[in-house]
Structure 1
Amino acid sequence: MSDVTAGIGLRPGTSEADIEACLTQTLAAANLPADAIKRLATLASRRDEPGLAAVAQAHDLSLVAIPDEALAGFEAACATRSTRISGLYGVGSVAEAAALAAAGPGATLIQPRIATARVTCALARSAA
């Protein structure tokens, strides 16, 4: 089975249900089962969001916190671009950059971000 990381971008206070819905939609778009995901990744500043922690716990996934400044190194690998997010974090997609960063060197983006009202989710596969 592949080693897939789900990158999550979210607004503060986003509910577990909203995060779960976006994650489910992203997995469906990639035609992957829920158990393909090995970890969740997000901005370090969002690591302690209760909704995100609840999703990680519900699926028994580790939650990787990527320092905001580390995201910019993944700009070239991002498939989508949000002008607002680019202005805030120097990267077009938090979800895509976080997924790639946490999946490790040589990771590939296998599902560009899917955005809902409060959440974005993208999937990256580890090289190893």
Structure 2
Amino acid sequence: MKVAGIGFRESATAADLQAALALTGLQVDALASVAAKAKTPAMQEFAQATGLPVIALQEQDIAGEQTLTCSPRIKARFGTGSLAEAAALAGARHGETGAKSRLLAPRVVTADGLATAAIAERLEP
């Protein structure tokens, strides 16, 4: 299962989220972000447009997640270096006790900096 972790600023639109996912160049089975972002109109519109389910994670689900990139602002706010990467990793493991996941590449950022995306996959045991 491949999951796109999505991070974005409050002013981002569904089109910004779509642009971030498009930059990855990969197909995914689900979207993931922290619950507060998963409930926003931009994320809901994006999910509806893509037909992908949204995995709403709790902040403690991503805290401490080892990421390939590190934003000091995100580290201070969420306890992990990249919201998109951490959400992708946690989302790929979601619902599978003891499951492991791996990032397929570092996060990508839209040119305007409004949205980020990273893709992770669940590893088979």
Query: Matches of 2:36 and 2:16 in 1, distance apart?
Result: 19
Whether the 8 Å CA contact 2:11–2:114 is kept in 1: the answer is no
Larger helix percent: 1
Q: For residues 40-90 of structure 1, what are the alpha-carbon distances to aligned partners after superposition, in whole Å with 9 as ceiling and x for unaligned?
A: 00011111111111111111111001111221131x2x1000001001111
CA RMSD of aligned residues (A): 1.1
Gaps of 5+ in 1: none
Match of 1:50 in 2: 41
TM-score by length of 2: 0.88
Q: What's the secondary structure of 1:14's corresponding residue?
A: coil
Pick one of 37, 42, 61 that aligns with 2:28.
37
Pick one of 93, 115, 119 that aligns with 2:115.
119
Task: Output the amino acid matched with 1:93.
Answer: S
Aligned length: 117
Task: Output the amino acid matched with 2:115.
Answer: V
Task: Output the amino acid matched with 1:79.
Answer: L
Match of 1:107 in 2: 101
Query: Matches of 1:17 and 1:122 in 2, distance apart?
Result: 16
The residue correspondences of 1:1-128 to structure 2 (distance < 5 A) are: 3-27=1-25, 32=26, 36-74=27-65, 76=66, 78-104=67-93, 105-116=99-110, 117-128=113-124
Q: For residues 88-122 of structure 1, what are the alpha-carbon distances to aligned partners after superposition, in whole Å with 9 as ceiling and x for unaligned?
A: 11100000000000101211100211122111100
Gaps of 5+ in 2: 94-98
Cα offset, 1:6, TM superposition: 0.2
TM-score by length of 1: 0.86
Whether the 8 Å CA contact 2:109–2:115 is kept in 1: the answer is yes
Q: Percent identity?
A: 38
